[in-house]
Amino acid sequence: MLSAEEIDNWNGGTPPAPAKLPPALLEVSGLVKHFPLKGGLFGRGQGVVRAVDGVDFTVYTGETLGIVGESGCGKSTTARLVMQLIRPDDGRIVFDGVDVGGPKLPLKGYRAQVQMVFQDSYASLNPRMTIEESIAFGPTVHGVSQSEAVARARALLDRVGLAPQRFAGRYPHELSGGQRQRVNIARALALKPRVLILDEAVSALDKSVEAQVLNLLLDLKDEYGLTYVFISHDLEVVRYMSDRVMVMYLGKVAEIGPTEQLYRASRHPYTTALLGSLLSMDPDRRTTEAPLAGDPPNPINPPPGCRFHTRCRSAEALCSEKVPGPTRIDGEAPHYAACHMADRTSGHSRAPARSPV
Amino acid sequence: MLFAPADVKVPAVPIERSPGYWSTVWRRFSRDPVAMAALAVIVLLILVAIFAPYLAPADPYRGMTLRRLRPPGTEGYPLGTDELGRDMLSRLMYGARLSLFMGVTPVFLALFIGAAIGITAGYVGGWVNTILMRTMDVFFAFPSVLLAIALSGALGAGIVNGLISLTVVFIPPIARVAESVTTSIRTRDYVEAARASGASALLIIRKHVLGNVLGPIFVYAMSLIAVSMILASGLSFLGLGVKPPEPEWGLMLNTLRTAMYTQPLLCALPGVMIFITSISFNLLTDGLRSAMDIKA
């Protein structure tokens, strides 16, 4: 694990950019989750799936951090780890300067402040509960009286654009996908959280409904001063929503930086390939060549060195030996890429020249 | 915080409510003529059992050797008399009490215990699941009839011991169904969401798990009632359950066995009752199962 200072000094002491960022709200460092494989005698593991393998990132107050990556890169596992739905094997989560799960911030208190919206709008609502019961459940757990919780549920339904008198007494199967996802958003907001983790929250909706829900999310963010962690595989949606973007590959962070800077000048070849898969509106600029071939390697036996070197066009011998650390990219806002080509000191032939002392 | 939901005006219009799950199930169930007929038969049997003292034409215990083994249709004895000259109709009516009791009670006891074990194993998972479910698997190694006979044989004849042994027989299958249903519910996003809201495991089980698993477990338990009735009758038939002179269908079947060649119709009557009751429970269960199988 690297401290922020060490990361800043990684590529030979680039002076850190003037900090203009709001205070950090959620700091995740060294997050690791390995799922043991079933099988063998007594179900003892024969190896592990390295779902999340050392992930560090920070979410600043009031921003939206987008997380993108292929299926199986650990986006959703990261979300569930941050939400503490599964226990991390290692790593530290600090919320508002306090250790999560520590004496000052027990899990229950943390969970009132960080909430999550899941991808499957139907599976995330109890089919035997009415909409208002589902929304009111959370507040009652935290000691709000039943009548007040129901009043809050109805008010939130109204806020997310569902008339309470029509929807409060309904069951989930009577609603459309978009309506259900609005209910899920209301349910997450019922605890008055400060952070909302949106795990592919709009991915299952059709485009017109998706746009409405995205705009609703933006409105709610302004209105309630929320901070979002927005997970999606849809690069355009992430660009629309996010202030900063984190790109994940095979359980590790490939690149993290301000959205526009990352989309315009990505420094990790995986990010470049991912962005290259975006379709152009211009028929003269159609994609003729697949930006990336093959599937991601098996997370049970990830390749040594840089995990991307098996598919990277610029891979050199160095890449299969040494794990690239997060390298600070010059610029105003913090922008890191875990690539030897971004690191002056790495010895990669395409690394930027060492700055003359 | 900026939140002030109480300030948002919600118009005081009455909330439209959808019919709940169980009223939907009942609506679907009531449209199934076979299931409704089975329900009617069972309700009738239960009423007869309850009101047997008022309905029975004669004392089921008083016999007379002079009128032994009269065939059904004899004047004064509509269903004939048994080997000790006791009125068959009265004995069948009184027999419904013990037979239904012996059939239903073990299943309900096993439902409580088995569901508790299965839901715990399914929700907690890990080594708790392994210990509980492998213990249950030990019981699966024995055929249920053999296990019931062995247990009541070891405990000794009698109603209570019969109930205990039948309960033990039915706990493992119910626990297994409860475990598999709970395991599938546990990973649903709404349970995750409930955990994310900070609710304790007990509250989640009570509010989110029970409502979704009790239905399937209950249906499965209902289907066991027929088996239980037959097993209980079997135990009594073998002299391990109810003891004479109590009227019980299985026991009656045994004592009338000797008259099989002289009065076959009379001899078959308790068996017919067992058959009608267990098939009614089976049809009821089928109807309930399809009524609860609501595709959203």
Q: Which residues contact B91 (CB under 8 A, 6 or more apart)?
A: B60, B82, B247, B252
Nearest to A164 among B6, B10, B198 (CB): B10
Chain B residues whose CB is inside 8 A of the A124 CB are 188-190, 192-193
ipTM of the assembly?
Answer: 0.80
Å between B192 CA and nearest CA of chain A: 7
Minimum distance, in Å, between the CA of residue B140 and any CA atom of chain A: 20
Contact across the interface for A126 and B190, Cβ inside 8 Å: yes
- Is the Cβ–Cβ distance between A335 and A267 less than 8 Å? yes
Given an 8 Å threshold on Cβ–Cβ distance, is A172 in contact with B296?
yes
Residue A57: strand pairing partners? A28
- A210 φ/ψ angles, rounded to the nearest 5 degrees: -55, -45
pLDDT digits 0-9 by tens, B219-234: 899 889 888 888 888 8
Q: Which residues of A touch B292 (CB under 8 A)?
A: none
User: How far off is chain A from B96, nearest CA to CA, in Å?
Assistant: 37
Mean pLDDT, to the nearest integer, of A263-281? Answer: 84
Mean pLDDT (whole number) for A22-27: 88
**Position B6 pLDDT exceeds 70:** no
Calculate mean pLDDT across residues B16-42: 89
Structure confidence at residue B295 (pLDDT): 59
- Pick the residue with more confidence: B83 or A306? A306
Query: Per the CB < 8 Å rule, is A141 touching B18?
Result: no
Token duo for residue A187: 């349910």
Question: Are A151 and B212 within 8 A, CB to CB?
Answer: no
Partners of A129 on chain B (C-beta within 8 Å) are: 208, 211
Give yes or no for residue A13 having a pLDDT over 60: no
Contact between A354 and A345 (Cβ < 8 Å)? yes
B176 — pLDDT class (breaks 50, 70, 90): very high
Map out the domains of chain B with their CATH numbers.
Answer: 87-292 (1.10.3720.10)
Q: Does A180 touch chain B (CB under 8 A)?
A: no
* A118–B18 CB contact, under 8 Å: no
User: Cβ distance A64 to A230 under 8 Å?
Assistant: yes
Q: Is B203 on the interface with A (CB under 8 A)?
A: yes
Chain A residues 38-67 with a CB less than 8 Å from chain B: none
Q: Which residue has the higher pLDDT, B12 or A262?
A: A262
Lowest mean pLDDT among A118-122, A300-304, B59-63, B177-181: B59-63
Q: Which residues of B touch A137 (CB under 8 A)?
A: 194, 197, 199, 207
Q: Residues of chain B with pLDDT > 90: what percent? A: 31
Beta bridge partners of B101: none
A187 vs B5: CB contact, 8 Å cut-off? no
Contact status of A181 with chain B (Cβ, < 8 Å): no
Say whether A128 and B212 touch across the interface (CB within 8 A): yes
The alpha carbon torsion through B228, B234, B235, B241 (nearest 10 deg) reads: 80
Residue written as tokens 């012996």?
Answer: B102
Looking at the complex, does the CB of residue A158 fall below 8 Å from at least one CB of chain B? yes
Q: CA–CA separation, B152 vs B241, rounded Å?
A: 8
Contact assessment for residue B77 and residue B64, using Cβ atoms and an 8 Å cutoff: no
Spell out the domains of chain A, with CATH numbers in brackets. Answer: 4-37+48-96+194-280+291-342 (3.40.50.300), 122-192 (no CATH)
Q: Is A342 helix (H, G, I), strand (E, B) or coil?
A: helix
Q: How far apart are the CA of A347 and the nearest CA of chain B, in angstroms?
A: 46
How close does chain A come to B57, measured CA to CA in Å? 49
Q: Lowest-pLDDT range, A3-12, A150-159, A248-257, B123-132?
A: A3-12
- Give first-to-last CA distance, chain A, whole Å: 28
- pLDDT of residue A16 exceeding 50: no
In total, the C-beta contacts within 8 angstroms joining chain A to chain B are 112
Q: Which of A8-22, A65-79, B248-262 has the highest mean pLDDT?
A: A65-79
Q: Are the CB atoms for A302 and A249 separated by under 8 Å?
A: no
CA distance B9 to chain A (A): 7
Does B245 sit behind a cis peptide bond, omega within 30 degrees of 0 on the bond before it? yes
The distance of B200 to chain A (nearest Cα, Å) reads 8
Distance in Å, alpha carbon of A4 to nearest chain B alpha carbon: 30
- Of the candidates A108, A127, A134, the beta carbon closest to that of B296 is on A127
- A129-133, A324-328, B59-63, B266-270: which is most confident: A129-133
Q: Which helix H or strand E contains A247, and what residues bound it?
A: strand A244-249
Q: Apex CA B99: angle with CA B30 and CA B56, to 5°? A: 90
Tell me, yes or no, if B212 comes closer than 8 A to chain A by beta carbon: yes
Of A36-40, B13-17, B36-40, B68-72, give the lowest mean pLDDT range: A36-40
Per residue, the 3-state secondary structure of A28-94, as one string, reads EEEEEEEEECCCCHHHCCCCEEEEEEEEEEEEECCCEEEEECCCCCCHHHHHHHHCCCCCCCEEEEE
Asked if the Cβ–Cβ distance from B192 to A166 is below 8 Å, we say no
- The residue ranking higher by pLDDT, A93 or A344, is A93
CB atoms within 10 A of CB A340: 27
pLDDT at A353 over 80: no
Contact B192 A118 (CB under 8 A): yes
The torsion angles phi and psi of A312, rounded to 5 degrees, stand at -90, 135
User: Which range has the top average pLDDT, A223-232, A274-283, B48-57?
Assistant: A223-232
- Strands A252-258 and A336-337, by their bridges, are antiparallel
Paired with A258 in beta bridges are A244
Per-residue pLDDT, A357:
42
Q: Which two tokens stand for residue B277?
A: 């009751």
What confidence category does residue B56 fall into, taking pLDDT thresholds of 50, 70 and 90? confident
Residue from A222, A226, A159 nearest A187 by CA: A159
B197 vs A contacts (CB less than 8 Å): 111, 115, 137-138, 141-142, 191
The answer to whether A83 faces chain B, any CB pair under 8 Å, is: yes
Give the per-residue pLDDT at A43.
53
What residues contact residue A52 under an 8 Å CB cut-off, 6+ apart? Answer: A31, A32, A33, A74, A77, A78, A81, A88, A251
The beta-carbon neighbor of B16 closest among A123, A169, A225 is A169
CA distance B53 to B51: 6
- The amino acid at A349: S
Mean of pLDDT values over B128-145: 89
Confidence band of A186 (pLDDT split at 50, 70, 90): very high
pTM for the whole structure? 0.80
Q: What whole-number distance in Å separates Cα of residue A282 and Cα of residue A278?
A: 12
φ, ψ dihedrals at B248, nearest 5°:
-150, 140
Count CA atoms within 13 Å of residue A285 on its CB side. 7
A81-95 pLDDT tens trace: 999 888 888 989 999
- Backbone phi, psi, residue B207, to 5°: -90, -35
Q: Average pLDDT of A9-33? A: 69
Secondary structure, 3-state, chain B: CCCCHHHCCCCCCCCCECCCHHHHHHHHHHCCHHHHHHHHHHHHHHHHHHCHHHHCCCCCCCCCHHHCCCCCCECCECCCECCCCCEHHHHHHHHHHHHHHHHHHHHHHHHHHHHHHHHHHHHHCHHHHHHHHHHHHHHHCCCHHHHHHHHHHHHCCCHHHHHHHHHHHHHHHHHHHHHHHHHHHHCCHHHHHHHHCCCCHHHHHHHHHHHHHHHHHHHHHHHHHHHHHHHHHHHHHCCCCCCCCCCCHHHHHHHHHHHCCCCHHHHHHHHHHHHHHHHHHHHHHHHHHHHHCCCC
Predicted confidence at residue B241, as pLDDT, reads 78
Q: Which tens digits make up the pLDDT trace of B241-292? A: 787 788 888 888 888 888 888 888 888 888 899 899 989 999 999 998 888 8
pLDDT at A147 over 60: yes
Alpha-carbon A139 to chain mean position:
26
| CB distance B147 to B167 below 8 Å | no
